[in-house]
Amino acid sequence: MKIYGDTKSGNCLKVKWVCDKLALPYSWVDIDTLSARPAPCSFSSSTARGRLPTVELDDGRALAESNAIIRYLARGSDLIPIDAFAAAKMDEWLFWEQYSHEPYVAVCRFQMAYLGKPASDLDPDKVKRGYAALARMEHQLASTRFLVGDIISLADVSLLAYTRLAHEGGFHLDGYAAVRRWIGETEKSLGLPPAR
Amino acid sequence: MKIYGDTKSGNCLKVKWVCDKLALPYSWVDIDTLSARPAPCSFSSSTARGRLPTVELDDGRALAESNAIIRYLARGSDLIPIDAFAAAKMDEWLFWEQYSHEPYVAVCRFQMAYLGKPASDLDPDKVKRGYAALARMEHQLASTRFLVGDIISLADVSLLAYTRLAHEGGFHLDGYAAVRRWIGETEKSLGLPPAR
Protein backbone atom coordinates (compact mmCIF):
# COMPACT_ATOMS: atom_id res chain seq x y z
CA MET A 1 0.00 0.00 0.00
CA LYS A 2 1.12 3.53 -0.81
CA ILE A 3 0.20 6.55 1.27
CA TYR A 4 0.33 9.80 -0.67
CA GLY A 5 0.76 12.48 1.96
CA ASP A 6 2.37 15.69 3.10
CA THR A 7 4.05 15.46 6.51
CA LYS A 8 3.03 19.06 7.24
CA SER A 9 -0.63 17.96 7.16
CA GLY A 10 -2.23 16.51 10.28
CA ASN A 11 -4.83 14.84 8.08
CA CYS A 12 -2.04 12.91 6.34
CA LEU A 13 -0.24 12.04 9.56
CA LYS A 14 -3.39 10.41 10.96
CA VAL A 15 -3.01 7.70 8.32
CA LYS A 16 0.69 7.16 9.09
CA TRP A 17 0.03 6.93 12.83
CA VAL A 18 -2.69 4.28 12.39
CA CYS A 19 -0.43 2.20 10.12
CA ASP A 20 2.46 2.49 12.58
CA LYS A 21 0.25 1.65 15.57
CA LEU A 22 -1.23 -1.39 13.85
CA ALA A 23 2.05 -2.42 12.15
CA LEU A 24 0.49 -2.23 8.69
CA PRO A 25 3.11 -2.16 5.92
CA TYR A 26 3.13 0.89 3.64
CA SER A 27 5.37 3.12 1.60
CA TRP A 28 5.02 6.86 2.11
CA VAL A 29 5.02 8.97 -1.05
CA ASP A 30 5.73 12.51 0.03
CA ILE A 31 3.82 15.24 -1.78
CA ASP A 32 4.94 18.75 -0.90
CA THR A 33 1.77 20.75 -1.40
CA LEU A 34 3.59 24.06 -1.03
CA SER A 35 6.22 23.24 -3.62
CA ALA A 36 5.98 23.98 -7.32
CA ARG A 37 7.37 20.51 -8.05
CA PRO A 38 4.68 18.46 -9.83
CA ALA A 39 3.25 15.45 -8.04
CA PRO A 40 4.07 11.99 -9.44
CA CYS A 41 1.85 10.94 -12.33
CA SER A 42 0.70 7.87 -10.43
CA PHE A 43 -0.86 10.21 -7.87
CA SER A 44 -2.33 12.87 -10.12
CA SER A 45 -4.10 10.33 -12.27
CA SER A 46 -5.39 8.23 -9.39
CA THR A 47 -9.08 7.75 -8.86
CA ALA A 48 -8.88 9.94 -5.78
CA ARG A 49 -8.15 12.80 -8.18
CA GLY A 50 -5.25 14.39 -6.44
CA ARG A 51 -6.68 14.71 -2.94
CA LEU A 52 -4.44 14.34 0.11
CA PRO A 53 -4.15 12.04 1.90
CA THR A 54 -4.91 9.20 -0.49
CA VAL A 55 -4.02 5.56 -0.02
CA GLU A 56 -3.51 3.30 -2.99
CA LEU A 57 -3.95 -0.39 -2.26
CA ASP A 58 -1.69 -2.95 -3.91
CA ASP A 59 -4.44 -3.73 -6.43
CA GLY A 60 -4.57 -0.06 -7.48
CA ARG A 61 -7.83 0.92 -5.78
CA ALA A 62 -7.65 4.33 -4.12
CA LEU A 63 -9.32 5.83 -1.07
CA ALA A 64 -9.32 9.45 0.10
CA GLU A 65 -10.65 11.41 3.11
CA SER A 66 -8.43 10.92 6.15
CA ASN A 67 -11.14 9.71 8.50
CA ALA A 68 -12.58 7.27 5.94
CA ILE A 69 -9.06 5.91 5.36
CA ILE A 70 -8.27 5.32 9.02
CA ARG A 71 -11.70 3.79 9.59
CA TYR A 72 -10.96 1.33 6.77
CA LEU A 73 -7.39 0.52 7.81
CA ALA A 74 -8.32 0.03 11.47
CA ARG A 75 -11.34 -2.20 10.86
CA GLY A 76 -11.35 -5.14 13.26
CA SER A 77 -8.66 -3.56 15.45
CA ASP A 78 -8.77 -2.23 19.02
CA LEU A 79 -8.90 1.32 17.62
CA ILE A 80 -12.61 0.87 16.80
CA PRO A 81 -14.90 -0.03 19.72
CA ILE A 82 -16.71 -3.34 19.33
CA ASP A 83 -19.87 -1.98 20.96
CA ALA A 84 -22.03 -0.44 18.22
CA PHE A 85 -23.04 2.64 20.20
CA ALA A 86 -19.46 3.33 21.30
CA ALA A 87 -18.39 3.04 17.65
CA ALA A 88 -21.15 5.51 16.77
CA LYS A 89 -19.83 7.96 19.38
CA MET A 90 -16.40 7.56 17.76
CA ASP A 91 -17.98 8.39 14.39
CA GLU A 92 -19.68 11.40 15.97
CA TRP A 93 -16.24 12.74 16.92
CA LEU A 94 -14.81 11.92 13.46
CA PHE A 95 -17.52 13.86 11.63
CA TRP A 96 -17.36 16.66 14.17
CA GLU A 97 -13.60 16.90 13.69
CA GLN A 98 -13.96 17.58 9.98
CA TYR A 99 -16.86 20.02 10.36
CA SER A 100 -16.28 21.86 13.63
CA HIS A 101 -12.58 21.55 14.50
CA GLU A 102 -10.33 21.17 11.45
CA PRO A 103 -11.77 24.16 9.50
CA TYR A 104 -10.83 26.44 12.40
CA VAL A 105 -7.89 24.99 14.35
CA ALA A 106 -6.07 23.58 11.33
CA VAL A 107 -6.83 26.50 9.04
CA CYS A 108 -5.54 29.08 11.56
CA ARG A 109 -2.41 26.98 12.01
CA PHE A 110 -1.88 26.75 8.25
CA GLN A 111 -2.28 30.48 7.82
CA MET A 112 0.20 31.28 10.59
CA ALA A 113 2.73 28.47 10.15
CA TYR A 114 2.84 28.28 6.36
CA LEU A 115 1.47 31.53 5.00
CA GLY A 116 3.22 33.67 7.61
CA LYS A 117 0.10 35.46 8.79
CA PRO A 118 0.40 37.03 12.26
CA ALA A 119 -2.14 35.92 14.88
CA SER A 120 -3.66 39.40 14.85
CA ASP A 121 -4.66 38.96 11.20
CA LEU A 122 -6.58 35.70 11.69
CA ASP A 123 -10.33 35.74 11.07
CA PRO A 124 -11.82 36.34 14.57
CA ASP A 125 -14.74 34.05 13.77
CA LYS A 126 -12.37 31.18 12.97
CA VAL A 127 -10.47 31.78 16.21
CA LYS A 128 -13.72 31.86 18.20
CA ARG A 129 -14.94 28.62 16.65
CA GLY A 130 -11.54 27.01 17.20
CA TYR A 131 -11.74 27.79 20.91
CA ALA A 132 -15.32 26.50 20.98
CA ALA A 133 -14.04 23.20 19.57
CA LEU A 134 -11.29 23.02 22.19
CA ALA A 135 -13.84 23.78 24.93
CA ARG A 136 -16.02 20.92 23.76
CA MET A 137 -13.06 18.55 23.94
CA GLU A 138 -12.15 19.87 27.39
CA HIS A 139 -15.70 19.22 28.59
CA GLN A 140 -15.50 15.58 27.46
CA LEU A 141 -11.93 14.93 28.59
CA ALA A 142 -12.61 16.30 32.06
CA SER A 143 -14.73 13.21 32.67
CA THR A 144 -13.21 10.48 30.49
CA ARG A 145 -9.62 9.48 29.80
CA PHE A 146 -10.08 9.41 26.04
CA LEU A 147 -12.82 10.85 23.85
CA VAL A 148 -14.88 7.66 23.86
CA GLY A 149 -14.46 6.30 27.37
CA ASP A 150 -11.24 4.94 28.80
CA ILE A 151 -9.71 3.33 25.73
CA ILE A 152 -8.00 5.08 22.85
CA SER A 153 -9.92 5.01 19.56
CA LEU A 154 -9.74 6.60 16.12
CA ALA A 155 -11.53 9.62 17.61
CA ASP A 156 -8.37 10.37 19.59
CA VAL A 157 -6.05 9.74 16.63
CA SER A 158 -8.10 12.07 14.45
CA LEU A 159 -8.49 14.89 16.96
CA LEU A 160 -4.87 14.68 18.06
CA ALA A 161 -3.63 15.63 14.60
CA TYR A 162 -4.37 19.34 14.84
CA THR A 163 -5.07 19.75 18.56
CA ARG A 164 -1.42 19.00 19.38
CA LEU A 165 -0.42 21.73 16.92
CA ALA A 166 -3.07 24.25 18.00
CA HIS A 167 -0.38 26.53 19.47
CA GLU A 168 1.06 26.93 15.95
CA GLY A 169 -2.31 28.50 15.05
CA GLY A 170 -2.16 30.93 17.94
CA PHE A 171 -4.40 28.93 20.29
CA HIS A 172 -3.43 28.96 23.96
CA LEU A 173 -4.16 25.75 25.85
CA ASP A 174 -3.43 27.17 29.30
CA GLY A 175 -7.07 26.90 30.37
CA TYR A 176 -7.49 23.43 28.87
CA ALA A 177 -5.85 21.11 31.39
CA ALA A 178 -7.76 17.99 30.38
CA VAL A 179 -6.92 18.54 26.72
CA ARG A 180 -3.22 18.93 27.57
CA ARG A 181 -3.28 15.76 29.69
CA TRP A 182 -5.01 13.90 26.85
CA ILE A 183 -2.53 15.14 24.22
CA GLY A 184 0.31 13.65 26.26
CA GLU A 185 -1.46 10.35 26.83
CA THR A 186 -2.49 9.99 23.21
CA GLU A 187 0.96 10.87 21.89
CA LYS A 188 2.47 8.31 24.25
CA SER A 189 -0.02 5.66 23.20
CA LEU A 190 0.88 6.27 19.55
CA GLY A 191 4.61 6.32 20.25
CA LEU A 192 4.99 9.96 19.18
CA PRO A 193 7.42 12.46 20.68
CA PRO A 194 5.71 15.45 22.32
CA ALA A 195 4.76 18.12 19.77
CA ARG A 196 6.04 20.84 22.13
CA MET B 1 -36.30 6.76 19.97
CA LYS B 2 -36.74 10.50 19.61
CA ILE B 3 -35.33 12.50 16.71
CA TYR B 4 -34.78 16.15 17.53
CA GLY B 5 -34.79 17.90 14.18
CA ASP B 6 -35.82 20.83 12.03
CA THR B 7 -37.60 19.86 8.83
CA LYS B 8 -35.96 22.78 7.03
CA SER B 9 -32.58 21.09 7.56
CA GLY B 10 -31.35 18.48 5.12
CA ASN B 11 -29.03 17.13 7.81
CA CYS B 12 -32.08 16.40 9.97
CA LEU B 13 -34.11 14.92 7.14
CA LYS B 14 -31.37 12.36 6.41
CA VAL B 15 -32.17 10.75 9.76
CA LYS B 16 -35.92 10.71 9.09
CA TRP B 17 -35.43 9.19 5.64
CA VAL B 18 -33.25 6.36 6.96
CA CYS B 19 -35.78 5.56 9.69
CA ASP B 20 -38.64 5.59 7.19
CA LYS B 21 -36.74 3.46 4.66
CA LEU B 22 -35.79 0.87 7.31
CA ALA B 23 -39.16 1.08 9.15
CA LEU B 24 -37.47 2.05 12.42
CA PRO B 25 -39.96 3.47 14.95
CA TYR B 26 -39.34 7.04 16.16
CA SER B 27 -41.05 10.17 17.33
CA TRP B 28 -40.03 13.42 15.68
CA VAL B 29 -39.54 16.39 18.01
CA ASP B 30 -39.60 19.46 15.85
CA ILE B 31 -37.16 22.22 16.76
CA ASP B 32 -37.65 25.40 14.78
CA THR B 33 -34.14 26.84 14.72
CA LEU B 34 -35.33 30.14 13.26
CA SER B 35 -38.02 30.68 15.87
CA ALA B 36 -37.54 32.48 19.17
CA ARG B 37 -39.52 29.73 20.90
CA PRO B 38 -37.23 27.88 23.34
CA ALA B 39 -36.42 24.26 22.63
CA PRO B 40 -37.80 21.62 25.02
CA CYS B 41 -35.71 21.13 28.17
CA SER B 42 -35.21 17.47 27.36
CA PHE B 43 -33.33 18.55 24.25
CA SER B 44 -31.33 21.48 25.58
CA SER B 45 -29.99 19.43 28.48
CA SER B 46 -29.20 16.33 26.45
CA THR B 47 -25.67 15.05 26.21
CA ALA B 48 -25.57 16.18 22.60
CA ARG B 49 -25.71 19.72 23.97
CA GLY B 50 -28.30 21.20 21.70
CA ARG B 51 -26.92 20.12 18.35
CA LEU B 52 -29.27 19.23 15.51
CA PRO B 53 -30.05 16.59 14.52
CA THR B 54 -29.77 14.56 17.70
CA VAL B 55 -31.34 11.19 18.38
CA GLU B 56 -32.16 10.12 21.89
CA LEU B 57 -32.44 6.37 22.37
CA ASP B 58 -35.09 4.91 24.67
CA ASP B 59 -32.46 4.46 27.39
CA GLY B 60 -31.61 8.19 27.24
CA ARG B 61 -28.28 7.97 25.43
CA ALA B 62 -27.87 10.65 22.77
CA LEU B 63 -26.04 10.78 19.45
CA ALA B 64 -25.39 13.78 17.20
CA GLU B 65 -23.81 14.40 13.76
CA SER B 66 -26.18 13.42 10.98
CA ASN B 67 -23.82 11.04 9.21
CA ALA B 68 -22.78 9.30 12.45
CA ILE B 69 -26.47 8.88 13.32
CA ILE B 70 -27.47 7.33 10.00
CA ARG B 71 -24.40 5.09 10.05
CA TYR B 72 -25.52 3.82 13.47
CA LEU B 73 -29.19 3.41 12.63
CA ALA B 74 -28.49 1.63 9.34
CA ARG B 75 -25.92 -0.82 10.70
CA GLY B 76 -26.54 -4.30 9.35
CA SER B 77 -28.96 -3.03 6.68
CA ASP B 78 -28.71 -2.92 2.90
CA LEU B 79 -27.85 0.80 3.11
CA ILE B 80 -24.28 -0.06 4.14
CA PRO B 81 -22.29 -2.24 1.71
CA ILE B 82 -21.12 -5.55 3.17
CA ASP B 83 -17.81 -5.37 1.31
CA ALA B 84 -15.32 -3.47 3.49
CA PHE B 85 -13.81 -1.42 0.67
CA ALA B 86 -17.23 -0.46 -0.69
CA ALA B 87 -18.23 0.61 2.83
CA ALA B 88 -15.03 2.67 2.96
CA LYS B 89 -15.94 4.39 -0.30
CA MET B 90 -19.33 5.15 1.24
CA ASP B 91 -17.53 6.69 4.23
CA GLU B 92 -15.34 8.68 1.84
CA TRP B 93 -18.49 10.27 0.42
CA LEU B 94 -19.95 10.87 3.91
CA PHE B 95 -16.87 12.74 5.13
CA TRP B 96 -16.59 14.57 1.82
CA GLU B 97 -20.23 15.64 2.10
CA GLN B 98 -19.63 17.40 5.41
CA TYR B 99 -16.33 19.00 4.37
CA SER B 100 -16.66 19.79 0.67
CA HIS B 101 -20.38 19.92 -0.17
CA GLU B 102 -22.57 20.94 2.78
CA PRO B 103 -20.54 24.07 3.72
CA TYR B 104 -21.12 25.44 0.22
CA VAL B 105 -24.34 24.04 -1.26
CA ALA B 106 -26.31 24.01 2.01
CA VAL B 107 -24.95 27.31 3.26
CA CYS B 108 -25.81 29.16 0.02
CA ARG B 109 -29.29 27.64 0.17
CA PHE B 110 -29.74 28.72 3.80
CA GLN B 111 -28.65 32.25 3.03
CA MET B 112 -31.01 32.57 0.07
CA ALA B 113 -34.01 30.58 1.29
CA TYR B 114 -34.03 31.62 4.95
CA LEU B 115 -32.04 34.82 5.26
CA GLY B 116 -33.45 36.31 2.05
CA LYS B 117 -30.08 37.03 0.47
CA PRO B 118 -30.19 37.45 -3.33
CA ALA B 119 -27.98 35.12 -5.39
CA SER B 120 -25.85 38.08 -6.41
CA ASP B 121 -24.82 38.63 -2.78
CA LEU B 122 -23.56 35.10 -2.16
CA ASP B 123 -19.85 34.62 -1.47
CA PRO B 124 -18.39 33.80 -4.95
CA ASP B 125 -15.91 31.38 -3.36
CA LYS B 126 -18.75 29.40 -1.77
CA VAL B 127 -20.60 29.30 -5.10
CA LYS B 128 -17.47 28.13 -6.91
CA ARG B 129 -16.82 25.38 -4.38
CA GLY B 130 -20.47 24.34 -4.48
CA TYR B 131 -20.25 23.86 -8.24
CA ALA B 132 -16.97 21.97 -7.80
CA ALA B 133 -18.79 19.58 -5.47
CA LEU B 134 -21.60 19.10 -7.97
CA ALA B 135 -19.04 18.48 -10.73
CA ARG B 136 -17.39 15.78 -8.66
CA MET B 137 -20.76 14.06 -8.17
CA GLU B 138 -21.51 14.39 -11.90
CA HIS B 139 -18.18 12.73 -12.72
CA GLN B 140 -19.03 9.75 -10.52
CA LEU B 141 -22.68 9.44 -11.48
CA ALA B 142 -21.86 9.51 -15.19
CA SER B 143 -20.38 6.03 -14.72
CA THR B 144 -22.33 4.47 -11.86
CA ARG B 145 -26.03 4.43 -11.01
CA PHE B 146 -25.46 5.47 -7.39
CA LEU B 147 -22.42 6.98 -5.68
CA VAL B 148 -20.99 3.61 -4.63
CA GLY B 149 -21.79 1.33 -7.56
CA ASP B 150 -25.24 0.22 -8.57
CA ILE B 151 -26.96 -0.04 -5.20
CA ILE B 152 -28.21 2.81 -3.05
CA SER B 153 -26.24 3.42 0.15
CA LEU B 154 -26.01 6.02 2.90
CA ALA B 155 -23.74 8.02 0.59
CA ASP B 156 -26.76 8.70 -1.61
CA VAL B 157 -29.07 9.47 1.31
CA SER B 158 -26.55 11.94 2.71
CA LEU B 159 -25.72 13.71 -0.54
CA LEU B 160 -29.35 13.84 -1.62
CA ALA B 161 -30.27 16.05 1.33
CA TYR B 162 -28.88 19.28 -0.05
CA THR B 163 -28.22 18.37 -3.68
CA ARG B 164 -31.98 18.09 -4.35
CA LEU B 165 -32.37 21.60 -2.89
CA ALA B 166 -29.32 23.10 -4.62
CA HIS B 167 -31.59 25.26 -6.82
CA GLU B 168 -32.81 27.02 -3.66
CA GLY B 169 -29.20 28.14 -3.20
CA GLY B 170 -28.98 29.51 -6.72
CA PHE B 171 -27.22 26.49 -8.25
CA HIS B 172 -28.28 25.54 -11.76
CA LEU B 173 -28.22 21.82 -12.51
CA ASP B 174 -28.78 22.20 -16.27
CA GLY B 175 -25.29 20.93 -17.07
CA TYR B 176 -25.47 18.09 -14.56
CA ALA B 177 -27.59 15.46 -16.28
CA ALA B 178 -26.26 12.52 -14.27
CA VAL B 179 -26.87 14.33 -10.99
CA ARG B 180 -30.45 15.13 -12.04
CA ARG B 181 -31.06 11.50 -13.06
CA TRP B 182 -29.61 10.32 -9.71
CA ILE B 183 -31.75 12.77 -7.68
CA GLY B 184 -34.87 11.28 -9.24
CA GLU B 185 -33.78 7.69 -8.70
CA THR B 186 -32.70 8.29 -5.10
CA GLU B 187 -35.90 10.19 -4.25
CA LYS B 188 -37.92 7.34 -5.71
CA SER B 189 -35.96 4.73 -3.81
CA LEU B 190 -36.60 6.62 -0.56
CA GLY B 191 -40.28 7.15 -1.34
CA LEU B 192 -39.92 10.94 -1.51
CA PRO B 193 -41.91 13.24 -3.78
CA PRO B 194 -39.71 15.19 -6.23
CA ALA B 195 -38.21 18.31 -4.63
CA ARG B 196 -39.03 20.35 -7.73
Inter-CA distances, A132 with A69, A100, A177, B44, B159, Å: 27, 9, 15, 17, 27
Alpha carbon A152 to its chain's center? 14
Query: What does the pLDDT read at residue B192?
Result: 96
Question: Angle at the Cα of A102 (from A23 to A46), degrees rounded to 5?
Answer: 60
pLDDT higher than 90, residue B42: no
- Asked if A87 and B73 touch (Cβ cutoff 8 Å), the reply is no
- Amino acid identity of A175? G
- How sure is the predictor about A196, in pLDDT bands with cuts at 50, 70 and 90? confident
Alpha carbon B146 to its chain's center? 15
Characterise A176 by phi-psi region: left (phi > 0), alpha (psi -120 to 50), beta (else): beta
- Asked if B4 and B54 touch (Cβ cutoff 8 Å), the reply is yes
- Asked if B19 and B26 touch (Cβ cutoff 8 Å), the reply is yes
pLDDT higher than 80, residue A39: no
A85 touches chain B (CB under 8 A): yes
DSSP state, residue A124: H
The mean pLDDT of B56-77, rounded to a whole number, is: 97
**CB B72 to CB A95 under 8 A?**
no
- How sure is the predictor about A69, in pLDDT bands with cuts at 50, 70 and 90? very high
Residue B62 forms beta bridges with which residues?
A: B56
Query: What does the pLDDT read at residue A37?
Result: 66
- Amino acid identity of A146? F
Secondary structure of chain B in the HEC alphabet?
Answer: CEEEECCCCHHHHHHHHHHHHHCCCCEEEECCCCCCCCCCHHHHCCCCCCCCCEEECCCCCEEECHHHHHHHHCCCCCCCCCCHHHHHHHHHHHHHHHHHHHHHHHHHHHHHHCCCCCHHHCCHHHHHHHHHHHHHHHHHHCCCCECCECCCCHHHHHHHHHHCCHHHHCCCCCCCHHHHHHHHHHHHHCCCCCCC
**Cβ contacts from A onto B, under 8 A:** 78
For the stretch B109-131, pLDDT in tens is 999 999 999 999 999 999 999 99
Span of A10-24, A41-55, B157-171 with lowest mean pLDDT: A41-55
The H-or-E segment that residue A134 falls in is helix A124-141
- How sure is the predictor about A47, in pLDDT bands with cuts at 50, 70 and 90? very low
Q: How far apart are CA A140 and CA A181, in angstroms?
A: 12
For the stretch B134-193, pLDDT in tens is 999 999 999 999 999 999 999 999 999 999 999 999 999 999 999 999 999 999 999 999
Name the residue of chain B whose CA is nearest to A76's CA: B84
Q: Which of B102, B109, B89 is nearest to B134 (CA)?
A: B102
**CB B95 to CB A92 under 8 A?**
no
Q: How far apart are CA A72 and CA B91, in angstroms?
A: 9
Question: Angle at the Cα of A155 (from A151 to A158), degrees rounded to 5?
Answer: 130
- Please state, for a pLDDT cut of 70, what percent of chain B lies above it: 93
A34 touches chain B (CB under 8 A): no
Q: Which of B136, B65, B60 is nearest to B96 (CA)?
A: B136
The mean pLDDT of B14-25, rounded to a whole number, is: 98
Q: Which of B11, B71, B153 to mutate to test the interface with A (most CBs of A within 10 A)?
A: B71
Residue A162: list chain B partners with CB under 8 A: none
**CB B95 to CB A67 under 8 A?**
yes
Query: What does the pLDDT read at residue A41?
Result: 58
**CB A94 to CB B99 under 8 A?**
no
- How sure is the predictor about B45, in pLDDT bands with cuts at 50, 70 and 90? low
CA pseudo-torsion sign B39, B43, B46, B49? negative
Q: How far apart are CA A111 and CA B37, in angstroms?
A: 39
A34's CB contacts (< 8 A; 6+ apart) are A8, A114
Mean pLDDT, chain B, integer = 94
Q: How much is the ipTM here?
A: 0.95
Q: How far apart are CA A58 and CA B27, in angstroms?
A: 47
Which candidate from A61, A85, A98 shows the least CB-CB separation from B85? A61
- How sure is the predictor about B33, in pLDDT bands with cuts at 50, 70 and 90? confident
> Structure pTM?
0.95
- How sure is the predictor about A33, in pLDDT bands with cuts at 50, 70 and 90? confident
- Asked if A53 and A64 touch (Cβ cutoff 8 Å), the reply is yes
- How sure is the predictor about B43, in pLDDT bands with cuts at 50, 70 and 90? low
B69 touches chain A (CB under 8 A): yes
